[in-house]
């Protein structure tokens, strides 16, 4: 009996000591956690990549994002969306930032993207301090993490060393970036093609807990009269709102209940048939995604933690490293 009690107290003390250690970086994974195969660290990226060449890189990005957020909190949604669009076409290589005729920036999918000027301003500051060193892909990745922190997402540690791509084609953005009309099967296939899974799809879509969409993106949902997937009052509100003005410029909150809080309200809205985009609402009604939607609706803290975790891996997808790509001098143009 005494041996059993000692064993129990040893276990209790171990849990008390080890749990905070496991949570220290914001991730509560068990000590023997092994990332799934698709989450192996990307070769060529390292935490201390700019340790000698640009030691204050993270500080410079963080201060700039903080200042921009204080002036306009909607920049957080802008940066998170920009980062996702970059990832969607050829991975995180800053191809979305290239400003040239026919580049991704000029795709229909990019019409409402924001944050380009902030990333360029950070680049200019970094070029002054550490010339030709920090890639635009790393700047966008770090700025998105810091913007997410500003809205209350858990911290996630980053590795650096991404290089910038030299290709950017608007046709590719229009082909690959999800626009809100896809089926769940299309979205699952798209995420899986990038090494992310169904849970990542549901969790990352939770970014739609902040930000706005244009009425043009909402129209497909309104045209179909399906009361079983659209709350009546919410549908009437959207029809009224989107009747005014032109569909491109009239904007609606993605989370109609708590539009500025990065919370799990997005999932609760789906349960109330109040998802703004058709693709969002479909995730409640599809057997592959429903249980994750319900889990995130129940577990607000788990959502924020899991969002950070999925974003961390999203930033490692299809990165160029080593002698691949380049470090651009300006984020808006490839080097000549």
| Binding-site residue set | 86, 89, 91, 93, 95, 104, 178, 208-209, 255, 258, 263
When asked if residue 313 is in the footprint of ligand HEM (CB under 6 A), the reply is no
Task: Name the minimum Å distance from CB 10 to ligand HEM.
Answer: 42
The DSSP string of 94-111 is SGGG--STTSGGGSGGGT
Q: Is 214 in the site for ligand HEM (CB under 6 A)?
A: yes
- Contact region with ligand HEM (CB under 6 A), list: 11-19, 74-82, 97-105, 298-306: 74-82
Residue 178 lies near ligand HEM (rule: CB under 6 A): yes
Give me the 193-212 binding string for ligand HEM, x by CB under 6 A, dash otherwise: --------x--xx-xx-xxx
DSSP labels, 119-144: HHHHHHHHHHHSTTTS-HHHHHHHHH
DSSP state of 174: H
Q: Using the rule CB under 6 A, which residue among 57, 81, 126, 158 binds ligand HEM?
A: 81
Please, what is the minimum distance in Å from the beta carbon of residue 246 to ligand HEM? Answer: 13
Burial 69-85 (b: 16+ CB within 10 A, else e): beeeeebbbbbbbbbbb
Least distance in angstroms from the C-beta of 65 to ligand HEM = 15
What residues numbered 230-289 form the site for ligand HEM, per CB under 6 A?
254, 277, 279
Instruction: Please select the residue that binds ligand HEM; options are 50, 69, 84, 176, rule is CB under 6 A.
Output: 84
CB of 37 to ligand HEM, least distance (A): 22
Give, rounded to a whole angstrom, the gap between the first and last alpha carbons of the chain.
77
DSSP string over 187-231: HHHHHHHTT--HHHHHHHHGGGGSSEEEHHHHHHHHHS--TTTS-
Q: Rule CB under 6 A: say whether 39 interacts with ligand HEM.
A: no
For 92, other C-beta atoms within 10 Å of its C-beta total 28
Site size with ligand HEM, rule: CB under 6 A: 26
Query: Could you say which of 28, 112, 258, 329 contacts ligand HEM (CB under 6 A)?
Result: 112
Q: Which residues contact 229 (CB under 8 A, 6 or more apart)?
A: 273, 281, 282, 285
**Chain CA centroid to CA 142, Å:** 12
Residue closer to ligand HEM (CB basis): 277 or 319: 277
Q: What are phi and psi of 9, to 5 degrees?
A: -65, -35
CA angle, corner 43, sides to 38 and 44, nearest 5? 145
Distance in angstroms (rounded) separating the CA atoms of residues 313 and 42: 9
Closest listed residue to residue 260, CA positions, set 212, 208, 210, 214: 210
- Annotated catalytic residue: which of 54, 85, 266, 273? 85
Residue among 273 and 328 whose Cβ is closer to ligand HEM:
273
Integer angstrom CA distances of residue 14 from 3, 18, 27, 102? 16, 6, 18, 59
Among 80, 89, 172, 297, binds ligand HEM (CB under 6 A): 80
Asked if 179 interacts with ligand HEM (CB under 6 A), we say yes
Tell me which of 39, 63, 66, 114 binds ligand HEM, using CB under 6 A: 114
Q: What is the distance between the alpha carbons of residues 107 and 194, in angstroms, rounded to a whole number?
A: 21
Nearer to ligand HEM, 179 or 222 (CB): 179
Among 60, 68, 77, 137, binds ligand HEM (CB under 6 A): 77
* Residue 249: active-site member: no
Q: Record the tokens describing residue 150, joined without a space.
A: 């500003």
Question: According to the binding rule CB under 6 A, does residue 316 interact with ligand HEM?
Answer: no
Angstrom distance (rounded) from CA 275 to CA 267: 8
221 makes contact with ligand HEM (CB under 6 A): no
Binding residues vs ligand HEM (CB under 6 A) = 77-78, 80-81, 84, 112, 114, 178-180, 182, 187, 201, 204-205, 207-208, 210-214, 217, 254, 277, 279
Catalytic residues: 85
């Amino acid at each position: 009996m005494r041996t059993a009690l000692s064993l129990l107290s040893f276990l209790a003390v171990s849990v008390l000591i080890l749990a905070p250690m496991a949570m220290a970086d914001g991730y509560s994974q068990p000590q023997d956690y092994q990332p799934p195969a698709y989450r192996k660290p990307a070769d060529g990226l390292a935490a201390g990549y700019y340790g000698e060449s640009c030691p204050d890189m993270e500080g410079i990005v963080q201060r700039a994002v903080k200042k921009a957020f204080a002036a306009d909190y909607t920049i957080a949604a802008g940066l998170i969306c920009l980062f996702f669009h970059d990832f969607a076409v050829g991975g995180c290589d800053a191809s979305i930032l290239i400003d040239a005729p026919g580049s991704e920036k000029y795709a229909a999918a990019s019409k409402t993207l924001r944050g380009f000027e902030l990333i360029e301003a950070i680049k200019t500051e970094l070029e002054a301090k550490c010339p030709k060193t920090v890639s635009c892909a790393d700047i966008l990745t770090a700025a998105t993490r810091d913007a997410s922190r500003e809205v209350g997402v858990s911290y996630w540690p980053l590795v650096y060393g991404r290089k910038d791509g030299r290709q950017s084609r608007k046709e590719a953005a229009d082909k690959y970036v999800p626009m809100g009309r896809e089926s769940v099967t299309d979205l699952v296939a798209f995420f899986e093609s990038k090494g992310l899974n169904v849970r990542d799809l549901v969790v990352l879509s939770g970014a739609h807990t902040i930000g706005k969409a244009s009425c043009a993106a909402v129209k497909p949902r309104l045209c179909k009269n399906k009361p079983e997937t659209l709350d009546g009052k919410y549908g009437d509100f959207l029809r009224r709102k989107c009747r005014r003005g032109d569909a491109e410029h009239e904007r609606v909150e993605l989370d109609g209940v708590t539009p500025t809080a990065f919370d799990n309200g997005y999932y609760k809205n789906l349960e109330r048939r109040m998802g703004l985009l058709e693709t969002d609402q479909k995730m409640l009604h599809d057997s592959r995604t429903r249980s994750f939607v319900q889990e995130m609706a129940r577990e607000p803290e788990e959502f924020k933690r899991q969002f950070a975790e999925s974003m961390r891996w999203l930033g490692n997808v299809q990165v160029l490293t080593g002698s691949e790509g380049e470090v651009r001098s300006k984020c808006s143009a490839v080097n000549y």
